[in-house]
Amino acid sequence: MADSQSTNDLRPDLDETINVSEAHGAIKDSSPAVGREKSVRENGMEAVSLWLILVSGIVVLVGGAVLGQGGSFFGYDELTKTDHVRGKSPVEEETIIPPISVLALLQKEGQKLYSACASCHQASGAGQSGVYPPLAGSEWVTGNTEQLAMIIHNGVGGPIKVAGVDYNNNMGAIGANFGPKELASIMTFIRTSWGNDASLVTPEMAENALAISKKRGGKPTTAEELQKNHDKMLPGDTLDPDTLFDPETWEPVPAAE
């Protein structure tokens, strides 16, 4: 009997009435350490260390402080030169100036030249009553171009009637040193400004005017001479005011095909 009882005591402490799953569950619930060991976790789902969070926060604060100092921590002053000016590039930069209409080109250049006339004829072209004749609405300005060219290039002296008013002051030769471009520009400007609606004067026409002026010796003109010898249009081909010109070469730009 004693041997039989000893043999029975060596059996596992289990019997058919014990539910293994419930027994294990009870062990798990009763021991947190065992629960953690038995739990299954996916990679990447582990808890982040508190120390890692603290270190990252310190790095962010230090980085913000550096940026707030404008980079002074890096000693940028050692890498720059005060009042340094970059040298000219060895490669020439090509500047392309777009073409503009011949009328706009002549008006633009003529307006610059007219500053020498504005003190007498005023910026408005109205002149000074009884002293300097107006250019706005003047028949000498909007009429035949050879008369106007002789007045500008040679000046005019003695009595002259402008817009029904008599004037008798001498006008100097403001265009004595003008070339064809300058003479064409100022003539076109005053013929197309302040309500004047006359044709433009081309550099070719102005060149012919200079040749005519040279033949007469350069002395001042008079109203009588202008009416007798120069009451006509300057020779030369006319241009459509919208014809495109190169502002640098003063040559027509070929139409795009």
Cβ-proximal residues to 130 (8 Å cutoff; 6+ apart), any chain = 165, 167
Q: What is the pLDDT of residue 167?
A: 95
Residues of the chain with pLDDT under 70: 1-48, 66-84, 256-257
Q: What's the CA gap between 168 and 159, in Å, rounded?
A: 4
Q: What is the pLDDT of residues 25-71, one digit of tens each?
A: 555 555 555 555 555 555 556 666 788 788 888 888 877 776 666 55
For residue 221, list its beta bridge partners.
Answer: 156
> Given this model, what pLDDT does residue 74 score?
54
Q: Residue 93's pLDDT is what?
A: 72
Cα 193 from chain centroid (whole Å): 28
Residues in the chain: 257
d(CA 183, CA 146): 12
Q: Report residue 3: phi and psi, to 5°.
A: -65, -35
Going through the chain in order, the beta strands assigned E by DSSP cover: 100-101, 160-162, 165-167, 244-245
Compute CA distances 70 → 66, 67, 106, 113, 245, whole Å.
7, 5, 53, 52, 52
> What pLDDT score does 65 carry?
72
Contact 236, 245 (CB under 8 A): no
Q: Using DSSP, how many helices (H) and how many strands (E) does the chain show?
A: 11, 4
Q: Does the predicted TM-score (pTM) go above 0.85?
A: no
pLDDT at 25: 58
d(CA 257, CA 255): 6
3-state SS, residue 106: helix
Q: Topology of domain 117-238, per CATH? A: Cytochrome Bc1 Complex; Chain D, domain 2 (1.10.760)
